[in-house]
Structure 1
Amino acid sequence: MMTKNEKLKTYSLKEIPYYHIYGRTDETQDSLPLFWNGSGIEVNVTGSELWIDLDVDCSFHEPWIATELNGAFMSRQMLLPGSYSICLFRNMTFGVPKTMKFFRELQAMSEDDDCHVFVRGFRCDGEFLPVKEFKYKIEFIGDSITSGEGTYGAISDTDWLTMYMSSSENYATYTAKALDADYRLISQGGWGVYCGWDNDVRHNIPSCYEKICGLGLGKVNEAVGAQKNYNFASWKPDAIVVNLGTNDASAFNQSPFTIPETGETFKQHKNPDGSFMEKDRERFENAVYNFLKMLRKHNPGSHIVWVYGMLGYDLNLLIANAMNRYQKDTGDYNTAFLSLPNTTTETIGAHMHPGIKSHERAAKVLIEYLETILD
């Protein structure tokens, strides 16, 4: 039978002197909204026991979270709606500092306005100590690959469910850890730089990039700052990694998409010989070009590397063309295009997405590249 720890004290976030926040959020709120996958909070405590106080809700897509203790992966679980506490550890040696990281596994859910995870505070029987500082800052922007879809689950699992998405097993977090970097993930499965996988032009990442969490819709998310303009000066990345284009490539092979509200129909086309129609190729390249301009506008000192290839190389040349044109027009050569290893039958994961081995291979290439840039 578990005994109650009478020495536990409850702390709101405002009462805690030291903690580190991962991910874009609105820090003016009383609770900490965890909008994006990889977003979270890290504390360094001397207590023997630590609990986290949460407010959680969803209508269909249950959020998943994970924890790390002293840098080692410790747990992963689904959160059900409600206001409650979760024990992060107990019965550990009192007085010894312990670093606990609690973070969101699930991407921002544009399809579930009620989906949210808010951190209200902690309960602990020890002190809060300063947390470590990182050497670098890296922002990752992408689609389902950056949302870690398929890194959990069997290869035969094909259901589109939140439990198969993650930031704990992810090329982005592998890269950040190897480089001692604080990181932020901005991603949405099925979205592209010009359009989504199904030709829905509303589903493009640039359209939501300038908000704290442009994908956080609904009254609750908006009330805690999701749709506020993001303060780019508050966190200046040393590098920005863009992994977009996979869904844009899929759109060329899909049926036309009609926006219900307007009746407008959109379609990316191929010629009979399999090449891309000129006007549609230009639309994609212009989207890449314009997103590079947006990224540079808000991140003047960051190195920008566009990576592509974990699910095919269809748009390699188009991305490279857009990058070359951008560099020539602007003189901005603090940018690059990097091809990543394709996913194979040996490295595939659930839902026909890259598995852990594929993410590890991609991270290795990206780490080697960024080491030369950041050093």
Structure 2
Amino acid sequence: MKSSFSVLALAGVAAAQVPAWGQCGGAGFTGPTVCVAGNTCIAVNDWYSQCQVGGGNIAVPSTTSAPGSVPTGNSTGSPGAFRFLGRVNPATKELTWPGTGVSFTFTGSWASIELTSVTGTNSVDLVIDGGEPTVISNVEGTSISTPAGLSDGTHVVVLRKRSESLYGTIVIGDVTTDGTIGEDVAPTRRIEIIGDSISVGYGLDGTNPCTNSAAVENNPKTYGALAAEELGADYSVVAWSGKGLIRNIGDDDAVIMPILYTRYGANDADDSYTFPAESAPDAIVINLGTNDFNYLNTRDPVDATAFTAGMVGFVQSIQTHYPDANYFLMTSPMLSDNYPTAEDAQHTTLSNAVKAAITELGGKVQLVDWPTQGADVGCDYHPNAATNAAEATILAAAIKAALECLKEENDLTPCQPVNDGQSSGLRREPTSLMQELLPLPPPYPEHARFALRSITLRETWAPASYTKPIVTTVATSLTMQSLCTSYGGADRIPRFFESYGEVVVCGSHAVALRHGPERN
């Protein structure tokens, strides 16, 4: 059930002004509603609004007294104790990209998020304690407050932008409460989604035929956001409608997505993003190609070879910042093998171009196919909530297989390569030693003379039945692909070299266990 909410605007100039901490509104209130300079009228509940110094920038009195009366007592509200969601430039505090927002925990009966600037039209979701979102389809005013009648206790508040940057932006100020702000702990997993209107949530809440707007965009219900939710992960979306990998839709000759990706905020300068280590994603999802391949006889079809080269270059540029991430390259549900004509086979052509890029990239990169959509569409034939939810399950399974690589205890078969999209795995194990390069002495097979790099410098993967400490080595002379190719073909998974005390696993979780761990 959706709850009521308060969006508070500055009142116009009036003859009488309300002093700090005085009542300025509420049900049945007929007095002055304009606060003295330096104060803002904040709704505490349906019956009582109060002038707060600095628009809610300092601790405010307790509101435990009866509605309509002047509150008494003191609180210890802590302004600014919140966590940004998504890619938000801390210097500007501007919510630009879809899905950006804030999250915080507080103990009390109400909290308020200050909005220092609102430009254009923005829609947001306000979620309290993981419940159903309150949808604010057009944000206005100077703050957003928690619903009236909230119980006095500990609550988690999440505000996320539903709409994209081309419609508008929001600048966040401080967060205040009648109680105390607590620590907001971020999930350990992080997922980044890079894309176009599909990843934005363009027209997701609409019913075709309809016109897209900020009100019908719904980023928190897109496939990427839902997959992250299923995996208990934080997510960040860097997406812009109409943008492509090597060319945009129609006659849009403005910057393409790989350039926009280098921006901190969507409206910041190119190359302004600093790629902070604490924001490094575990999984990066790239869903581009819909606008590159969309031509509808108004321009020449895209060169698939050029698209492949563009994808390789884009992924490699991201890998310089996030070398340990798993990459998931998606096809488009809006491309069909029957439209504009069967000869175009756009969905298959895009899929083959992505597969070619994956072959060239190697390592922790895989294809996630999004089949051509059916009748479940929103505005301008974009995928609606049902279509997004169906693909979210597929994407979440692929990410889960790559990040967890889980399998049944005593199952000694190696983890499947990520590139085949299948799910099986090995357990995570801390490593006791890392070396740059260590030749493995005879009688190891020729193609296993050097160990491969592990998934990170902190941990590797091992069958659940191994109990001894593991020493992992790093090779620079052999790639994962060359090792796998030399042992029965590029798509084959090496067996356990039991007689040599060596375990080698092909695919993104390539591992060598040098010290012959014993079995239970």
Q: If the length of structure 1 is used for normalisation, what is the TM-score?
A: 0.80
Is it true that 1:248 corresponds to 2:292 in the alignment?
yes
Select which of 57, 60, 64 maps to 2:118: 57
Stretch of structure 1 that moved more, 204-213 or 312-321: 312-321
Match of 1:88 in 2: 146
Higher helix proportion (structure 1 or 2): 1
Counterpart CA distance in 1 for 2:360 and 2:220 is 39
**Shift of residue 129, structure 1, vs aligned partner:** 1.3
Partner of 2:212: 160
Distance in 1 (CA, whole Å) between partners of 2:290 and 2:319 is: 22
1:344 to 374, 377, 393: 374
**CA displacement at 1:359 relative to structure 2:** 0.4
The reply on whether 1:27 has 2:80 as its aligned counterpart is no
Matched, 1:70 2:114: no
Distance in 2, matches of 1:144 and 1:128, equals 36
Which runs of 5 or more structure 2 residues have no equivalent in the other structure?
1-26, 28-45, 60-76, 337-344, 405-520
Deviation at 1:178, TM superposition (A): 0.4
Q: Which secondary structure state, in structure 2, belongs to the residue aligned with residue 162 of structure 1?
A: coil
Which residue identity does 1:26 align to in structure 2?
N
Cα 1:318–1:199 shift into 2, 3 Å:
farther
1:194 deviates by 1.0
Q: CA deviation at 1:87?
A: 2.0
Contact 2:332 2:370 in 1 (8 A): yes
Aligned residue in 1 for 2:394: 365
AA paired with 2:367?
A: F
Question: How far apart are 1:86 and its partner, in Å?
Answer: 2.2
Match of 1:306 in 2: 329
Residue 286 (structure 1) aligned with residue 309 (structure 2): yes
Instruction: Give per-residue Cα distances to partners, 1:296-318, cap 9 Å, x unaligned.
Output: 12211100010113212544554
Against the structure 1 CA distance between its residues 368 and 229, is the aligned structure 2 distance closer, same or farther, given a 3 Å change threshold? closer
Equivalence for 2:319: 296
Identity %: 19
3-state SS of 2:320 partner: helix
1:47 to 108, 125, 135: 108
Letter in 1 for 2:143: S
CA 1:12 to 1:292, structure 2 compared with 1: closer, same or farther past 3 Å?
farther
Residue 97 (structure 1) aligned with residue 154 (structure 2): yes
Matched residues in 2 for 1:123 and 1:232: separation? 27
Q: 2:260 aligns with which of 203, 208, 211?
A: 208
Map 1:211-290 → 2, pairs under 5 A: 211-213=263-265, 215-216=266-267, 222=268, 228-251=272-295, 253-255=296-298, 267-269=299-301, 280-290=303-313
Supply the RMSD in Å over aligned alpha carbons.
2.7
SS at match of 1:312: coil
After TM superposition, the score normalised by the length of structure 2 is: 0.59
Give the deviation of 1:24 after TM superposition. Answer: 1.0
**Aligned residue identity for 1:238:** D
Does structure 2 retain, via aligned residues, the 8 Å contact 1:51–1:89? Answer: no
Q: Which amino acid aligns with 2:363?
A: Y
SS, match of residue 115 in structure 2: strand
Distance in 1, matches of 2:316 and 2:108, equals 48
1:106 aligns with 2:129: no
CA distance in 2, matches of 1:351, 1:200: 18
Query: Which amino acid counterpart does residue 24 of structure 1 have in structure 2?
Result: R
SS of 2:142's partner is strand
Larger C-alpha radius of gyration, 1 or 2?
2
Q: What's the counterpart of residue 170 of structure 1?
A: 222
Q: Could you tell me how far 1:135 is from its partner in structure 2?
A: 3.3
Contact 1:310 1:362 in 2 (8 A): no
How many pairs align? 333
Q: Distance in 1 between matches of 2:363 and 2:222?
A: 28
Distance change in 2, residues 1:85/1:357 (3 Å):
same
What stretches of structure 1 of length at least 5 have no aligned partner? 217-221, 256-266, 270-275
